[in-house]
């Protein structure tokens, strides 16, 4: 039969193990979030960089066409 001190130690050890497991899963989640955030930032930076290098903008203005309507009336 275990003494009360050993029972208390066992209970505290189990509580500590549960808390450690919970903290470990929290740390893993945090690591995953940071990793994917860095990857997302890298993708966005590469897109901006490729756009700047390859010139994805309109350097020349688009040609504008104007249509003039000529009104003609026919005699009855």
Distance CA 25, CA 75 (A): 88
Tens of pLDDT along 34-55?
999 999 999 999 999 999 898 8
Q: Is 71 helix (H, G, I), strand (E, B) or coil?
A: coil
Distance CA 20, CA 12 (A): 12
Its pTM stands at 0.56
Tens of pLDDT along 63-72?
677 777 777 7
Question: 70 or 58: whose pLDDT is higher?
Answer: 70
Distance CA 26, CA 18 (A): 12
The pLDDT value given to residue 65: 77
Average pLDDT along the chain: 89
Question: Contact, 2 vs 10, CB < 8 A?
Answer: yes
The pLDDT value given to residue 72: 79
DSSP code of 38? H
DSSP code of 55? T
């Amino acid at each position: 039969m275990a003494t009360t001190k050993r029972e208390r130690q066992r209970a505290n050890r189990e509580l500590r193990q549960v808390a450690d497991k919970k903290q470990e899963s929290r740390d893993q989640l945090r690591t995953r979030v940071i990793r994917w955030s860095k990857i997302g930032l890298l993708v966005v930076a590469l897109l901006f960089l490729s756009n700047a290098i390859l010139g994805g903008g309109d350097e020349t203005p688009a040609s504008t066409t104007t249509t003039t309507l000529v009104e003609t009336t026919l005699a009855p």
